[in-house]
Structure 1
Amino acid sequence: MNRNEVLNAAVEEQVQLICKTAEVIWKYPETGFKEWKTSAYLEQIFTDLGYELVKPEGIPGFYADLETGRPGPKLCIMGELDSLICAEHPDCDPQTKAVHACGHHAQAAGLVGAAAALKEPGVLDGLCGSIRLMAVPAEELIEVGYREKLRAEGKIEFFGGKVEFMNRGYFEDVDLCVLIHTFDDPGLKHVYQLAHGNNGCIVKNITVHGLASHAGGSPDKGINALYAAMQALQAVNALRETFRDDEHIRFHPIITEGGQAVNAIPDEVKIESYVRGASLEAIDQANRRINRAIAASVAAMGATVTLQDRSGYCPMHDDELMNEAALAAMKRIVSEDEILIQTQWGTGCTDMGDLSAVLPTIQPGSSGSIGAYHGKDFQIVDPEKAYIMPAKALVFIADELLQNEAEKAKEIMAQFKPLYASQQAYLADARRRFLDKEAVRQNADGTITLDFQNLE
Structure 2
Amino acid sequence: MLNKEELLQYLEKEKQAIYQRGDTFFQCAELGFCEVETAKKITELLDEWGIPYEKEIALTGIIATLGSGKGYHIAFVADIDALPRKDGKGNIHSCGHSIQTTMGLSLLKALHESGILEQTDCGVSFFFTPAEEYIDFAYRDGLIAKGKLEFRSGKQNMIALGYFDEVNCVLSAHANGDEGTKFDVDSTLAGFMAKKAVFMGRAAHSGAAPHLGRNTLHGATLAMNALSFLKDQFAVEKGLRLNPVLTAGGGSVNTIPDVTVLETYVRANDNETLFEACKRFDGCIEHCAKALDLGYEISNTVGYLPLAQSKGLNKVVRGNMLLYCSSEEIVESPISGASGDVGDLGFLIPTIQFGFSGVKGRFHDDSFAIADYENCYITSGKVMLGTIYDLITNPDSRVQQNKKEYIGKKLEYFGWLHHNYQ
Tell me the TM-score range normalised by the shorter chain: 0.7 to 0.9
Q: What's the CA shift for 1:104? A: 1.2
* 1:18-40: CA deviation from partner (whole Å, max 9, x where unpaired): 32333233333223333233223
User: What is the rounded CA distance, in whole Å, between the counterparts of 2:199 and 2:85 in structure 1?
Assistant: 27
Evaluate the alpha carbon distance shift between residue 262 and residue 115 of structure 1 in structure 2; reply closer, same or farther with a 3 A threshold: farther
User: What is the rounded CA distance, in whole Å, between the counterparts of 2:247 and 2:130 in structure 1?
Assistant: 24
- Preserved contact between residue 256 and residue 271 of structure 1 (Cα < 8 Å): yes
Q: Residue in 1 aligned with 2:318? A: 327
User: What is the rounded CA distance, in whole Å, between the counterparts of 1:19 and 1:76 in structure 2?
Assistant: 24
* Structure 1 position 343 matched with structure 2 position 338: no
Give the counterpart letter for 2:188 in structure 1: G
Give the counterpart letter for 1:84 in structure 2: L
Q: Residue in 1 aligned with 2:177? A: 184
Alignment of 1:159-198 (within 5 A): 159-187=152-180, 189-190=181-182, 192-198=183-189
Q: Residue in 2 aligned with 1:137? A: 130
- Preserved contact between residue 57 and residue 158 of structure 2 (Cα < 8 Å): no
Evaluate the alpha carbon distance shift between residue 86 and residue 215 of structure 1 in structure 2; reply closer, same or farther with a 3 A threshold: farther
Gapped runs of 5+ residues in structure 1?
A: 437-456
Q: What's the CA shift for 1:402? A: 0.1
**Equivalent residue in structure 2 for 1:361, among 351, 360, 375:** 351
Q: Residue in 1 aligned with 2:44? A: 44
Q: Residue in 2 aligned with 1:434? A: 420
Give the counterpart letter for 1:314 in structure 2: L
* 1:68-126: CA deviation from partner (whole Å, max 9, x where unpaired): x6842110011111223451xxxx6515xx43222111111111111122222355475
Q: What's the CA shift for 1:362? A: 0.6
Q: Residue in 1 aligned with 2:81? A: 82
Q: Residue in 1 aligned with 2:264? A: 273
Alignment of 1:120-159 (within 5 A): 120-121=113-114, 123-124=116-117, 126-159=119-152
User: What is the rounded CA distance, in whole Å, between the counterparts of 1:304 and 1:21 in structure 2?
Assistant: 56
Q: What's the CA shift for 1:141? A: 2.2
User: What is the rounded CA distance, in whole Å, between the counterparts of 1:347 and 1:256 in structure 2?
Assistant: 23
**Which stretch has the larger CA shift, 379-388 or 1-10?**
1-10
User: What is the rounded CA distance, in whole Å, between the counterparts of 1:254 and 1:158 in structure 2?
Assistant: 25
Q: What's the CA shift for 1:271? A: 6.0
Evaluate the alpha carbon distance shift between residue 13 and residue 260 of structure 1 in structure 2; reply closer, same or farther with a 3 A threshold: farther
Give the counterpart letter for 2:72 in structure 1: P
Q: What's the CA shift for 1:272? A: 5.2
Gapped runs of 5+ residues in structure 2?
A: none
Evaluate the alpha carbon distance shift between residue 105 and residue 320 of structure 1 in structure 2; reply closer, same or farther with a 3 A threshold: same
Question: What's the C-alpha RMSD, in Å, of the aligned pairs?
Answer: 3.8
Which of the pair is proportionally richer in helix?
Answer: 2
TM-score (norm 2): 0.84
Give the counterpart letter for 2:413 in structure 1: L
- Preserved contact between residue 2 and residue 116 of structure 2 (Cα < 8 Å): no
User: What is the rounded CA distance, in whole Å, between the counterparts of 1:383 and 1:263 in structure 2?
Assistant: 61
**Which stretch has the larger CA shift, 58-67 or 242-251?**
242-251
- Preserved contact between residue 58 and residue 158 of structure 2 (Cα < 8 Å): no
Q: What's the CA shift for 1:373? A: 2.6
- Preserved contact between residue 358 and residue 426 of structure 1 (Cα < 8 Å): no
* 1:235-291: CA deviation from partner (whole Å, max 9, x where unpaired): 422422223324221123466677999999988776653211133222122112223
Q: What's the CA shift for 1:351? A: 1.9
**Which stretch has the larger CA shift, 169-178 or 241-250?**
241-250
Q: What's the CA shift for 1:343? A: 2.7
* 1:324-351: CA deviation from partner (whole Å, max 9, x where unpaired): 111223334x133475141343332222
SS across alignment from 1:326: helix
Q: Residue in 2 aligned with 1:388? A: 378
Evaluate the alpha carbon distance shift between residue 434 and residue 12 of structure 1 in structure 2; reply closer, same or farther with a 3 A threshold: same
Alignment of 1:393-408 (within 5 A): 393-404=383-394, 406-408=395-397
Identity %: 27
